[in-house]
Structure 1
Amino acid sequence: MTEEPSGGDLSRLRQLNAQAVLRALRDDKPLTLTELAKRTGLSRASTEDVARELIERGWVAEAEPTAGTVGRPARRYRFRADAGRVLGVDIGGHSIRALVTDLDGEVQHSTSVAVTPQLGRKERLAALDTCVAAALTGADVTAGQIWSTGVATTGLVDGTGKVMLSDSLAEWTGVDLAAHLRKLVGAPARVENDSKVAALAESWRGVARHAKDVVFLLAGVRTGTGLIIDGKLHRGFGNAAGEIGALPAIGWLKAPDQLRAWAGGKDEFEDVFLAARNGDRAAVRAVRRYTRDIAIGVSALILTLDPELLVIGGGFSRSADLVLQPLRAELDRWCLRTPEIRVSTFGDEGVALGAVRLALEQVESRLYDGTELSPAGIAGASGRRASGSAGER
């Protein structure tokens, strides 16, 4: 004799069905009931019941009919990306950038503020506050409308959102960024190293979105890496995975000096690349020496991970036409198999977009674990959790 499902079982089943429909709509364009049923494996009747319930809760809406459709079109359903907003912040040595996006990661407003590596902690945090305020104003939202915040920064970050070590920013070691952003915005905040976050952006919707194993190289005044293993960001036991540049023998710490030598010791890197592009032999040699230095560490990572793809990002990626050929030659020299090399297309927003993805991961974990909540409920929960004492990860 088959037992009837208990009330708790039925409630859990409804939640699982709602999760399946939400995931399908999050990952695709607007879908009809028939298409939703095929993607979720639910019956059409169950799919219709779930869709109706999610519309009532505010997560789903009927999409506008497609223009030019003959006859009565089938109803299509879409995830309400406009139900909430998230914030992504990139705290760098020379600029701070903040993005406000909807729940699909579509940018509503982007703002940046110029800073310097020598800026003290108090002044840098003040610049951060100014940048966030400008982004919120530009997106026409208040801090209370932000559901989650993702933050990227230079240096090592621990599991509570505190900077454990930062050699490149003055007075930055020990700053509790998660606590600062929770107080500033009033929403849960997740903090991560900028190179790792940039790798996350590429895996999410960049040139690495179809690759499972990726080495991301942040090439600029600083050199850093982010690792994607089996489609997921790899942090390591102590969040220090990929920090191969800390080893002096690798040569990453002195690599930019090869470019500075051409510019008389100044950080005029764009001038070096421009001169090399125009045929200046000394500049070409400087770029090749720089490339040779970074290739040693990249080769070590490739030999260790055997990635499908190497992605070049960061400020120097704008001069990839000068770097790729000598880099590939060095990798061919040292590696058993040189992976495909791609250049990031995100420009200056790559790290901030990765921070947005951090924020969205927090929203999705609450969304899929608690679909009984409406968007207003999620927003309310965000505010309550942000006022707590625990750091968000």
Structure 2
Amino acid sequence: MDELPWNRQRLRSNNEWLLLEQLRTAGPCSRAQLARDTGLSKPTVSSALAALRQHGLVREVGTVAPGRGRTAVLYEPDPTAGYVLGIDVGRARLRIAVADMSGKVLSRKDVANRARTATSLAEVVAGAVNETLAAVDVPPERVVHAVLGSPGVFDPEDGRVHYAVNLPGWGRAGLLAEIRERLGGPELSMHNDANLAALGEYAFGAGRDSRLFVYVLVGTGLGVGIVSHGELFTGAHGAAGEVGFLPAAFGDPAAGSSRRGALEEAVSADAVVRAARERGMSGRLTAKRVFDAARAGDPIAVTVVREEGERIALVVAAVTAVLDPDVIVVGGGLGGSADLLLDQVRAALQRTTPLRPAVSPSELGDDAVLLGAIATALRVARPQVFDRRTPTGR
């Protein structure tokens, strides 16, 4: 008999969570519709909705007149129950966004990354976050969870980011704790940028509804994110998809195979610029300028882009042979030139492998990592908000 009150409380809490998730997935509903959809009785639904309203987790959003019946009140999850942050740290740019519990982005800020040390980069991140929150009057303590995406793999055992070769000093111990302290409020977790891009594309873009989806991020670096049935596959140590560390099969084998990150050096924005210079292009070159020149018909740029497409195709072919995905999305900085690259990728795949995954451009572009961070933060924050606001949680 001592456990009976606890069981009743737990049952009520489970019913409240069930209704909250139903409203989140189905959209605004009346009490009668919720009862039909969940199988709960109308009195149970009414009681649970009253509790959720009291805790600030749902709100009335309007009314509907179902035929000849009485006007029914519609309910939805209250998006102001909490907030989340997404932070995308790249070598060239930082992107920050704050979203409410519905996932709606309320404010965002993009700034150039001119930091030359990990400490100065942490300061820039904290400053950009504070400005983003201030723009919509969200105090830091209202942010439930923040997710930071960057190159490399964060190891919670030693508190370091490993393999982030493009961010000097980013791997020093205590960096995540320092950023967390500077933010002054939310819990903070760090994730690999390709993994977050894959989750963003799966949730909002070209990876929707795929069974096994792979995101190939080609930009300053090279990485792969793998999503199987909606869940990230990260490997035993979080480094699954770090294909940039594979030996390169291009150019001088002796020069490439002995260097860590050889494939990343051969398939990246820097590789495009380097190849263009070696073939005679001059001036202040960037990968974007090389691709723009290829669109304009410059013969050197056309050759460089064709060869880059062939190299990306070999990456895609290797990933396909190991994982057998149904969809591969090419994104990142070079993914923005998919109009030029993907024809080369598909043609090279025809020559190199009998496997034929669908190869698509990113639908989210430069926002893939940021939106993946928001989606990941929401998955953490929503149950936390529920647990904090209800007497027993789930």
In the alignment, structure 2 segments of 5+ residues that lack a partner are: 250-262
Residue 196 of structure 1 aligns with an amino acid whose one-letter code is N
Aligned to 2:35, which of 28, 31, 37? 37
Paired residue secondary structure (1:172): coil
| CA-to-aligned-CA distance 1:104-136 (integer Å, 9 cap, x gap) | 1111111122114x7111221121122112111
**Aligned 8 A contact 1:252 1:293 in 2:** no
**Aligned 8 A contact 1:15 1:371 in 2:** no
Count of residue pairs brought into register by the alignment? 372
Shift of 1:185: 3.0
Structure 2: distance between partners of 1:194 and 1:322: 24
Shift of 1:349: 2.0
Residue 207 of structure 1 aligns with an amino acid whose one-letter code is A
Shift of 1:346: 1.9
Structure 2: distance between partners of 1:245 and 1:211: 24
Structure 2: distance between partners of 1:153 and 1:4: 50
**Aligned 8 A contact 1:208 1:309 in 2:** yes
Structure 1 residues 177, 70: CA separation in 2 closer, same or farther (over 3 Å shift)? Answer: farther
Structure 1: distance between partners of 2:2 and 2:237: 48
Matched with 1:80 is 78
Structure 1 residues 58, 92: CA separation in 2 closer, same or farther (over 3 Å shift)? Answer: same
Structure 1: distance between partners of 2:41 and 2:156: 42
Shift of 1:369: 5.4
**Aligned 8 A contact 1:259 1:290 in 2:** no
**Aligned 8 A contact 1:150 1:357 in 2:** no
Aligned to 1:262, which of 252, 276, 294? 276
Paired residue secondary structure (1:12): helix
Shift of 1:243: 0.9
Structure 1: distance between partners of 2:245 and 2:126: 31
**Aligned 8 A contact 1:99 1:108 in 2:** yes
Shift of 1:206: 1.8
Taking the TM superposition and a 5 Å limit, the aligned residue runs for 1:189-338 are 189-249=188-248, 251-256=263-268, 257-263=271-277, 264=281, 267-338=285-356
Taking the TM superposition and a 5 Å limit, the aligned residue runs for 1:133-152 are 133-152=130-149
Structure 1: distance between partners of 2:67 and 2:89: 48
Structure 1 residues 69, 202: CA separation in 2 closer, same or farther (over 3 Å shift)? Answer: farther
Structure 2: distance between partners of 1:69 and 1:345: 41
| CA-to-aligned-CA distance 1:229-264 (integer Å, 9 cap, x gap) | 122111111110111220123533222424432244
Structure 2: distance between partners of 1:69 and 1:349: 43
| CA-to-aligned-CA distance 1:112-169 (integer Å, 9 cap, x gap) | 22114x7111221121122112111212222122111111011121136631232111
Residue 143 of structure 1 aligns with an amino acid whose one-letter code is P
Structure 1: distance between partners of 2:2 and 2:299: 81
Identity of aligned residues (%): 33
In the alignment, structure 1 segments of 5+ residues that lack a partner are: 378-393
Residue 276 of structure 2 aligns with an amino acid whose one-letter code is W
**Aligned 8 A contact 1:303 1:336 in 2:** no
| CA-to-aligned-CA distance 1:252-308 (integer Å, 9 cap, x gap) | 322242443224486511111111111222211101111111222221111111111
Structure 1: distance between partners of 2:240 and 2:76: 38
Matched with 1:381 is none
Structure 1 residues 60, 49: CA separation in 2 closer, same or farther (over 3 Å shift)? Answer: same
Structure 2: distance between partners of 1:50 and 1:158: 41
Taking the TM superposition and a 5 Å limit, the aligned residue runs for 1:334-345 are 334-345=352-363
Matched with 1:120 is 117
**Aligned 8 A contact 1:84 1:147 in 2:** yes
Aligned to 1:26, which of 2, 5, 24? 24
Paired residue secondary structure (1:252): helix
Structure 1 residues 267, 298: CA separation in 2 closer, same or farther (over 3 Å shift)? Answer: farther
Structure 1: distance between partners of 2:348 and 2:184: 46
Structure 1 residues 373, 202: CA separation in 2 closer, same or farther (over 3 Å shift)? Answer: farther
**Aligned 8 A contact 1:152 1:197 in 2:** yes
Structure 1 residues 41, 94: CA separation in 2 closer, same or farther (over 3 Å shift)? Answer: same
Matched with 1:390 is none
Structure 1 residues 347, 249: CA separation in 2 closer, same or farther (over 3 Å shift)? Answer: closer
Matched with 2:256 is none
Structure 1 residues 68, 272: CA separation in 2 closer, same or farther (over 3 Å shift)? Answer: farther
Structure 2: distance between partners of 1:336 and 1:10: 58
Structure 2: distance between partners of 1:162 and 1:357: 24
Q: RMSD value over aligned CA atoms?
A: 2.5
Structure 2: distance between partners of 1:207 and 1:120: 35
TM (norm. structure 1) is 0.87
**Aligned 8 A contact 1:152 1:351 in 2:** yes
Structure 1 residues 267, 213: CA separation in 2 closer, same or farther (over 3 Å shift)? Answer: farther
Structure 1 residues 5, 121: CA separation in 2 closer, same or farther (over 3 Å shift)? Answer: closer
